[in-house]
Chain A
Amino acid sequence: MAPKQRNAAAHSSTTTSSIAAAPSAAATAPPSSAPVAVPKSAIAKTTHAGSTQSWDKIVSNVLTHYLDTTPQRTKLLDAFMAFLVAVGALQFLYCILAGNYPFNAFLSGFAATVGQFVLTASLRIQTTEANKGDFPSVSPERAFADYVVCSLILHFFCVNFIN
């Protein structure tokens, strides 16, 4: 749990600085950055430049939104999900590079990360305030209990399958 927490903490520490910077950047960036961008990609088409620009904007907008509205606990969940994605990607990479010989083991390992990711995502969705209307019968406590039960089932199957 420790590395994850550290990860989350690092996240939040970087966030505070960028939160402060973000609104001002969002407000001032478009007029100032456009002249800068055009000379740089003078050969490239203007539409291309425009799309990259809007990409920048989209990404920065999403980031600010995330940092603004996500409570600390949910960020923990997100860190865990990022960790799972990393582990899953590593396993997949290993499978591609070194072969999938104990296919059972690879499958159950990979399925464990994917399943846990999905379950965590579900927990995250169910506990988010904005989604409360979608789940009239699922309280956050119930969501967590469900999460634990489902994880137990998942890992039982994985251990049984891993050979």
Chain B
Amino acid sequence: MSAEPLQGLASVGKGQSTRGLLRVIILALIAGAAISSRLFSVIRFESIIHEFDPWFNFRATKYLVANGFYNFWDWFDDRTWHPLGRVTGGTLYPGLMVTSGVIYHALRALTIPVDIRNICVLLAPAFSGLTAWAAYLLTNEMTPSSSAGLLAALFMGIAPGYISRSVAGSYDNEAIAIFLLVFTFYLWIKALKQGSMLWGALCALFYGYMVASWGGYAFITCLLPLHAFVLICMGRYSTRLYVAYTTWYALGTLASMQIPFVGFLPVKTSEHMPALGIFGFLQLLAFLDYVRSAIPSRQFQTFLWLFAGGTFGLGLLGLVIATSAGFIAPWSGRFYSLWDTGYAKIHIPIIASVSEHQPTAWPAFFFDLNMLIWLFPVGVYLCFQQLADEHVFIVVYALFGSYFAGVMVRLMLTLTPVVCVAAAMAVSALLDTYLSAKSPKPQETQAADGSEGKKAVKSGLRSTGKPVVGVYGLWGKSMMVSALAVYLLVFVLHCTWVTSNAYSSPSVVLASRLPDGSQHIIDDYREAYQWLRQNTHEDAKIMSWWDYGYQIGGMADRPTLVDNNTWNNTHIATVGKAMSSREEVSYPIMRQHEVDYVLVVFGGLLGYSGDDINKFLWMVRIAEGIWPDEVSERAFFTPRGEYRVDGEATETMKNSLMYKMSYYNYNNLFPPGQAVDRMRGARLPEVGPNLNTLEEAFTSENWIIRIYKVKDLDNLGRDHASAAAFDRGHKKKKVTKRKGPRVLRVD
């Protein structure tokens, strides 16, 4: 009895199961690190939903939990896009909400009462742990080295490029979509390697889940056909490819069509046509493959030329006809902007105005990926060396992903997984080479060389043997390994620093440092939204720029005119027009839309850069797109082409509603004549703007949010300008009367 444990102890560290256990423990630790590094925002601030879009997701999740799945599916929301409303259930990606709803109910069933808010806040970190695991699986398919997978999991867990969208509280579609992306790719590789229908079907199921979760599913829809196409072009068509691809496509397309928001898009839009084309092409190839096995090669060649040429011509003709006849929609605008980065700016300002749709700046790559960005090409090179089917996938993904990450800031997210995988392969190749302490003795290698080596030994001449090539000195190895270790440590430091400083701000709550170094929380947003919630009627319509629509809906629970779901450009342009026009023009617009309150964000007092005056030009541009003869961007620039807010601002600028609302009463804060806009560093004119049709209702502590109430029609039937002038004590009629006599006296 006592011998068995001893034997067991002796084999520890060698056995397969021990390694498996170690791997599980390491993966669990990596997941723990991934989760905990995303908790900065919760620790610094509190458990709160971040930014803009997450507020809508949070609101939708609350609706789902409160009203059940079917009501959620048929949800018509009349509290947004007033007076149009929004068919919310049919125009969102429900994956995220349903996921957290399921988790909520599962925890409730286990009698763990958790607030739905906490589930939403912590969903992204939890899924980041799963993403690390998926990256591990994907990398293990690429290389036999087991350390590569663990490194990839580690990189994936803490790479800032992914953390940027998945810190605690960032309850957005990407939170679960990146896990699904990586996992779908893993299943695809698995299906392709084994040629198994089951893996293909699993791939399709997760693809369906991905479609339900994020609009970025088109990335998979394009990448998998591209991979298949490249394989075919390389002459690597195999029956495995046929089985994997066709199973994925047939099931995956059907699965994607189950989502109401996607609906018939997979058969109607050009983005999905490559997948369909490759599907058809594979059928032909399978048929040709069969025919080739059936007849002699000479006959097959004539057959091939006639058949393939005819089919290709027919297919192309059919596609052209179908596109021109309107059966297939041409590429959507957002897609064009991927090819031509200037396209959106000219044609669709609403897309270009979103900061995450801007092209990526070069430093961002290093900031988000640090040393991975220069290990990435090495990993791709290693893939080229082996170049099995799965390595082709990494190469294709790397090319495709790098291009798109360069075009749009937010697509850095889709590049990050492949960078992590490739970099992990590179690092593990280095480590595997330099960590093995074994240095082969010359004789050993000669023996291993086979016959040639044996001959050399027989002849007894050392010099005729092959010289040993490689770094075998302990000194060189330890240098190399320690350098790598330093790099890895610096990488961890960088990731933690970036996460803590750049990506952990909720942007709803701002933090600043007091002179003594202690933290000061600026909580103007919530202050203002709470004011709205408590002091306005439940159905009071709030007009603001669309950025704040989701937050008003989520935090203040008030109807809004426009929000971050920018489905109706005209409606947004209407708001833009109201903001950028004179009061006399804006007031009828606001009356027509039953606006009760107008909300603006003003950063002039605090030096807060994300305010409405800085976004103002986009409002003007978007409005100009619809009413080019009423709103003109040029009129907001001084003759010298400057965008100014001080005394030299243009008349159009000074008279615009946005300018007036931002600077109304602002000069009362300062001694006369010394009002300064700290954001733009501009000295404001001594006399501030007058507001006739609005009255100030609320201004938050640091003046970040200002809320104005739209005045009702005047009781005496006067227009607002004269009524306001009367209230100020001006008697304008007398002014004109006096002018007459004075002229006479001069004579």
Contacts and interface: CB of A to CB of B under 8 A. Distances in A.
Contact of B197 (A108, A119, A130, A160): A119
Listed residue (A103, A108, A123, A134) with the most chain B CB atoms within 10 angstroms of its CB: A134
A57 to B, nearest CB: 6
B294 to A, nearest CB: 4
Given A130-B293, A161-B254, A107 B198 contact: no
Interface string A115-156: 100110111011000110011011000110111011001100
A161 B286 CA distance: 29
Nearest to A114: B250
A143 B254 contact: no
B302 A154 contact: no
A122 B258 contact: no
Nearest to B250: A115
A45 B350 CA distance: 62
B302 A54 contact: yes
A65 interface: yes
Interface string B501-525: 0000000000000000000000000
A157 interface: yes
Contacts of B675: none
B240 A134 contact: yes
A151 to B, nearest CB: 10
Interface SS of chain A: helix
Contacts of B196: 135, 137-138, 142, 146
Interface in B8-46: none
Contact of A134 (B195, B254, B286): B195
A135 B196 CA distance: 8
Interface in B287-303: 291, 293-296, 299-300, 302-303
Contacts of B296: 61
A150 B247 contact: yes
B246 A154 contact: no
Main secondary structure of the interface of B (DSSP, over half): helix
Contact of A137 (B194, B250, B257): B194
B265 to A, nearest CB: 12
Contacts of A65: 293-295
A107 B295 CA distance: 37
Contact of B239 (A118, A134, A161): A134
Contacts of A107: 257, 264, 267
A66 B201 CA distance: 30
Given A115-B250, A122-B197, A161 B258 contact: yes
B646 to A, nearest CB: 59
Contacts of A126: 195, 197, 239, 243
A134 B238 contact: yes
B205 interface: yes
A64 to B, nearest CB: 8
B238 A62 contact: no
Contacts of A154: 250-251, 254
A150 B252 CA distance: 11
B253 interface: yes
Contacts of B194: 135, 137-138
B255 interface: yes
A147 B198 CA distance: 8
Contacts of A143: 197
A115 B254 contact: yes
Interface string B213-250: 00000000000000000000000001110110011011
Interface in B379-394: none
A64 B257 CA distance: 42
Contacts of B302: 51, 54, 58
A135 B195 contact: yes
B649 to A, nearest CB: 54
A87 B257 CA distance: 22
A79 interface: no
Nearest to A145: B198
A158 interface: yes
A111 interface: yes
B242 A58 contact: no
Given A125-B286, A126-B243, A134-B239, A118 B250 contact: yes
A135 to B, nearest CB: 5
Given A54-B299, A150-B247, A157 B254 contact: yes
Contacts, number: 108
B359 to A, nearest CB: 37
A58 B299 contact: yes
Given A111-B254, A138-B194, A149 B201 contact: yes
B250 A61 contact: no
Interface string B250-280: 1101110110000010010000000000000
Contacts of A114: 250
A119 B250 contact: yes
B197 A58 contact: no
Interface string B407-422: 0000000000000000
Interface in B89-148: none
Contacts of B303: 58
Nearest to B299: A58
Contacts of B198: 145-146, 149-150
Interface in B178-226: 194-198, 200-201, 204-205
Contacts of A160: 258
Contacts of A147: 197
Which of B242, B247, B250, B296 counts the most chain A CB atoms within 10 A?
B250
Interface centre among A108, A138, A149, A157, by most chain B C-beta atoms within 10 angstroms, is: A157
Contact of A66 (B205, B243, B283, B294): B294
Contacts of A157: 251, 254-255, 258
Contacts of B299: 54, 57-58, 61
Given A65-B294, A146-B198, A122 B243 contact: yes
Contacts of B253: 111
A118 B246 contact: yes
Given A111-B254, A135-B240, A58 B295 contact: yes
B195 A121 contact: no
B294 A62 contact: yes
Contacts of A119: 197, 247, 250
Interface in A70-125: 103, 107-108, 111, 114-115, 118-119, 121-123, 125
Contacts of A138: 194-196
Nearest to B294: A65
B287 to A, nearest CB: 10
A154 to B, nearest CB: 6
B283 to A, nearest CB: 8
Nearest to A65: B294
Contacts of B255: 157
Interface in B674-726: none
B294 A122 contact: no
Nearest to B242: A125
A156 B674 CA distance: 71
A143 B246 CA distance: 15
Contact of A150 (B195, B201, B239, B257): B201
B251 A150 contact: yes
A135 B258 CA distance: 32
A108 B257 CA distance: 10
A97 to B, nearest CB: 16
A3 B258 CA distance: 33
28 contacts: A51-B302, A54-B302, A58-B302, A61-B299, A62-B295, A65-B294, A65-B295, A66-B294, A103-B264, A111-B254, A114-B250, A115-B250, A130-B293, A135-B194, A135-B196, A135-B239, A138-B196, A149-B197, A149-B198, A150-B198, A150-B251, A153-B204, A153-B205, A157-B251, A157-B254, A157-B258, A161-B254, A161-B257
Given A57-B299, A58-B299, 6 more contacts: A54-B302, A118-B249, A121-B286, A135-B196, A135-B240, A146-B197
A-B complex: 9 closest residue pairs judged by Cβ atoms = A65-B294, A115-B250, A146-B197, A157-B254, A118-B246, A122-B243, A146-B198, A61-B295, A150-B201
